[in-house]
Structure formats: C-alpha cells, structure tokens
A = this chain, B = another copy of it.
Amino acid sequence: MGNDFKSRDKFTSIIDSALRVFGEKGYYNATISEIARTAGVSEATIYEYFGSKEDLLFAIPGEITSQAVEFLEGMAPYIKGAENKIRAIVYGYYNLYKDNPDYSSLVLLNLKHNRKFMEAEGYQAVQRAAGFLLRAIEEGVKSGEFRDDVDPYLIRSVILGTIEHIFFRWHLKGRKEELADFVDALMDILTRGIKKDGEPRAYQINITLPESPAGSPP
C-alpha cells in the first residue's frame, strides 16, 4: 500500500512534469529525457507508466478536464436559464485556462492539432465539455430565450473559438500581459446577438400626453 502510494506519487509527478515540459516546449521539442529529469525519475520509469510519448501526452487532459467538467455538470441543475448556464461554462473555461497556463498551452498548442488525440481517451472529457455547452445553447433556443433561427453549432464555435483565440494569442506572446476578463463583454455581445428581440427589454420610452382627462397606457 505504501508502494501504491509511492506509485501514485510517481504517476502524478510524471504527468505534472510532462504538462510543464510539453507546455513550455511543445510536444515535438520536448524530450522524454527532460520530462524524466523534471520528474526525478529515469526515462525507463516513464515507460513503466505510459506506453509511449504520445500516450503520455494524451493522458494529461483526462485528469484535469474531467474535474472541471464534473464540477460544471454538478452545478448545472442549480443554474436557471440558458444564458446563465452558458455564462457559467464560459467562466469555467476561462478559469481553467487561466489558472493552468501550462495546461491551456498544452491543449491549445499541441493537443488540439493532433488527429490521433480525437481517438484517445482524454478527448472524451473535452468532448463532454463541448457537448454540455451545446446543450445549454439548444435549451435556450427551445425555451424561447434565444431566437429560433440561431444555429447552436455556430454559437458554440463563436464561444469556443473566441476563448481559444484569446488564450492562444496570450500564449504565443509569452503570457506577458495580464489577461483581461473578457467573459462578461463576450456574453453581452452574444446575448444581444442571439436573444429574442421581442423580449421585455427595458426600452425607455417617454410619452407625454396632453393634460386632459386621464388615460394611462400600460
């Protein structure tokens, strides 16, 4: 059992190091040797835990994304309204990417471009998150919160594309500038863009009526 514990330690340590090294140098420029050194184990040990360099890469998101998705899914029932749900999800991505820069670097710069990753296990978690977002949008359309002619897939692309694009540039530019909190601004644009027009928006309309009797329109 002490062994198990140690093993778990080593497993985690390798994943962590891989995350860091892959995140910094990119998959192809990272070497097993450096990951091993960072993790404080031998190269051979890595192969005890992971079948190949690619396996190691693919094993990373499983852990992290799963947690994030579970959190969101657990919270979902308590959030009312599609807009709020979407906002929560966007914040979920935002925080996940911001708080784990190595992770977002890895996902955005390495994993997403790997066709094989789409067949790997870790991809499931990513998919689940995306599916979750899609359903929230669809719900909004169905409930009448959003316009009927809105294409949920497009909306999802707008959301994910925007998030990824912003983080992407942040990474490419070396994470030097502070990352602005763009979530509310994005949600604002999006909401205006897809919400039903007829909605009881608070338009300020002033009508001045002549003094005579009394008639008050609603």
Contacts and interface: CB of A to CB of B under 8 A. Distances in A.
A4 interface: no
A109 B28 CA distance: 14
A198 B202 contact: yes
Contacts of A174: 115
A207 to B, nearest CB: 6
Could you say how many copies of this chain the assembly holds?
Answer: 4
Interface residues of A, number: 56
A211 interface: yes
B157 A165 contact: yes
23 contacts: A110-B113, A112-B168, A113-B113, A151-B185, A154-B162, A154-B189, A157-B182, A158-B158, A158-B162, A160-B165, A161-B161, A161-B166, A191-B193, A192-B192, A193-B194, A197-B201, A203-B205, A205-B207, A206-B217, A207-B207, A207-B209, A208-B215, A208-B217
